[in-house]
């Protein structure tokens, strides 16, 4: 029983940490709803749709999986980050668990059957007692995450033994299913690779992959705060941005402004800023970009003014959205870095001032973004730069090791060299 608790504590490392528990509810809600009723609905839904529903669906294609390099994905963003490997490395295949929502790539991903996951729920009472004993507050708040996590490790251990992939490449190091796959691969001494897909936090688990491909010094510094780093480390920049480096915006004029928001942001704050900006700059175009997982109704926001449109994050790649912009405005979001990489001037504006996630990624501390404290201050700042928009992409060097170097735009090539070297070894 103690061994089970140790294993599942590792699988649930991030979400059952004290640091994550102390985050504002707006940040935790993306992983687990604040409402107890909604959490229970999730448990019931997981039981009916996944545990029982999976029993009646056959999804696995052995020939697609056997002996390949698995690119294990848990989201649409993960696919975007690992697509370059799939396209350039023969014998690689995108892989996800049965029933996992991968957005627009649903039909492009090979699936691992999770029919047997239900067989391991006999462990739930024992795990629940252990977690309540050691992490009572987190267990009561995130019971649904513990419930969802059961069985992933045990099933993935069987799948890895059966299909013997040459390596498993990850773009996520903290979700329960990805952690379970990592730990199962390590138990079987199957080579593992991590490719950073978004800005990281010092709350993440310590790196334990055989090869850790990080974007820049900022990421390495944060992971060193998480604990000792195991395996080889290489700073390779952001492969998913390579194709967009030629589209960096070098215009000195401001014509289009983007507002990127996520689940932590207050839509009333977003609406208030949109009203003031559209009134102050009726000749500018404003594009609202909600996070792909944000399902809240935003239709009222487009009715504020005729010069406001919405970018569909589920359909439009984030860099295709950024290509249209001269200025990007967001609160606590990794989109700031992606904007600056395309030489889009990015400005921090707090859309959730009642919470305390200010500079969560350190973008302000390291000078990646400019900051405004009020809508009036932001209007004044934009007014002074309408025809003198600054060049900003050099600000990203601390976050992206290839910026302004001969390898700028060649991150994918660097990453593939490291991956191929690991596999051959």
Q: Each residue of 92-133: pLDDT tens digit?
A: 999 999 999 998 899 999 999 999 999 999 999 999 999 999
Indicate whether 265 pLDDT > 70.
yes
Tokens at residue 87, please?
């396209």
Indicate whether 357 pLDDT > 70.
no
Q: How deeply is 390 buried, as exposed, middle or buried, from its count of CB atoms within 10 A (0-12, 13-18, 19+)?
A: exposed
Q: Determine which helix (DSSP H) or strand (DSSP E) holds 184, and give its type and residue range.
A: helix 176-187
Please, what's the largest Cα pairwise distance for the chain?
66
Please write the tens of the pLDDT for every residue from 32-76: 999 999 999 999 999 998 899 988 888 999 999 999 999 999 999
Separation of first and last alpha carbons in the chain: 37
Asked whether the beta carbons of 184 and 151 are under 8 A apart, the reply is no
Distance, CA of 59 to CA of 317 (rounded, Å): 28
Distance, CA of 127 to CA of 146 (rounded, Å): 9
Helix axes 2-11, 124-134, angle to 10 degrees: 70
Mean pLDDT of 388-414: 96
Distance, CA of 202 to CA of 361 (rounded, Å): 9
Distance, CA of 29 to CA of 330 (rounded, Å): 19
Using a pLDDT cut of 90, give the percent of the chain over it: 80
Distance, CA of 415 to CA of 214 (rounded, Å): 9
The reported pLDDT for the residue numbered 199 is: 85
Indicate whether 298 pLDDT > 80.
no
Give the residue among 335, 161, 167 at the shortest CA–CA distance from 262.
Answer: 335
The neighbouring-strand residues paired with 259 are 288, 329
Distance, CA of 260 to CA of 327 (rounded, Å): 11
313 — pLDDT class (breaks 50, 70, 90)? confident
What is the DSSP code (8-state) at residue 206? P
Asked whether the beta carbons of 195 and 237 are under 8 A apart, the reply is no
Q: Determine which helix (DSSP H) or strand (DSSP E) holds 322, and give its type and residue range.
A: helix 318-322
Q: Determine which helix (DSSP H) or strand (DSSP E) holds 330, and give its type and residue range.
A: strand 327-330
Distance, CA of 11 to CA of 375 (rounded, Å): 42
The reported pLDDT for the residue numbered 131 is: 97
Q: How deeply is 12 buried, as exposed, middle or buried, from its count of CB atoms within 10 A (0-12, 13-18, 19+)?
A: buried
Whole-number average pLDDT of the chain: 93
* Structural domains in the chain plus CATH codes: 2-239 (3.40.50), 244-398 (3.40.50.2000)
Report, in angstroms and rounded to the nearest whole number, the Rg of the chain calculated over CA atoms.
22
Tokens at residue 337, please?
């870095």
Indicate whether 14 pLDDT > 90.
yes
Indicate whether 356 pLDDT > 70.
no
Q: Determine which helix (DSSP H) or strand (DSSP E) holds 270, and give its type and residue range.
A: helix 267-280
397 — pLDDT class (breaks 50, 70, 90)? very high
Tokens at residue 275, please?
């009203």
The reported pLDDT for the residue numbered 276 is: 95
Distance, CA of 66 to CA of 152 (rounded, Å): 19
Higher pLDDT, 26 or 19: 19
């Amino acid at each position: 029983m103690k061994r089970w608790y140790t294993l599942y504590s590792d699988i649930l490392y991030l979400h059952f940490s004290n640091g994550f528990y102390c985050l504002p509810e707006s940040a935790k809600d993306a992983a687990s709803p604040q409402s107890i009723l909604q959490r229970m609905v999730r448990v019931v839904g997981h039981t009916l749709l996944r545990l029982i529903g999976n029993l009646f669906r056959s999804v696995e294609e052995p020939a697609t999986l056997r002996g390949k390099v698995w690119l294990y994905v848990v989201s649409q963003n993960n696919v975007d980050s690992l697509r370059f490997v799939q396209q350039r490395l023969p014998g690689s295949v995108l892989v996800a668990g049965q029933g996992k929502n991968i957005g627009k790539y649903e039909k492009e991903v090979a699936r691992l059957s999770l029919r047997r996951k239900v067989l391991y729920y006999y462990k739930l009472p024992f795990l629940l007692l252990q977690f309540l004993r050691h992490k009572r507050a987190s267990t009561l708040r995130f019971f649904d995450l513990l419930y969802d996590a059961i069985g992933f490790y045990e099933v993935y251990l069987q799948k890895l033994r059966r299909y013997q992939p040459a390596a498993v490449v990850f773009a996520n190091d903290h979700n329960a299913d990805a952690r379970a796959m990592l730990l199962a691969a390590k138990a079987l001494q199957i080579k593992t690779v991590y490719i950073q897909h978004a800005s990281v936090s010092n709350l993440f688990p310590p790196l334990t992959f055989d090869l850790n491909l990080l974007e820049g010094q900022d990421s390495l510094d944060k992971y060193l705060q998480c604990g000792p780093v195991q395996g080889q480390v290489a700073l390779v920049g952001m492969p998913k941005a390579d194709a967009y480096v030629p589209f960096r915006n070098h215009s000195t004029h401001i014509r289009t402004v983007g507002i990127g928001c996520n689940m932590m942001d207050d839509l009333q704050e977003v609406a208030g800023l949109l009203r003031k900006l559209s009134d102050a700059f009726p000749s500018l175009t404003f594009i609202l970009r909600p996070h792909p997982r944000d399902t809240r109704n935003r239709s009222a926001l487009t009715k504020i003014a005729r010069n406001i449109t919405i970018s569909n994050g589920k359909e439009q790649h984030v860099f295709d959205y950024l290509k249209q912009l001269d200025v990007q405005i967001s609160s606590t979001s990794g989109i700031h870095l992606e904007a600056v990489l395309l030489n889009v001037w990015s400005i921090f504006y707090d859309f959730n001032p009642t919470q305390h996630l200010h500079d969560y990624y350190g973008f302000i501390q390291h000078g990646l973004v400019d900051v405004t404290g009020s809508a009036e201050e932001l209007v004044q700042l934009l007014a002074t730069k309408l025809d003198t928009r600054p060049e900003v992409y050099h600000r990203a060097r601390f976050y992206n090791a290839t910026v302004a170097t001969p390898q700028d735009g060649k991150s994918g090539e660097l990453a593939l060299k490291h991956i191929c070297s690991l596999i051959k070894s």
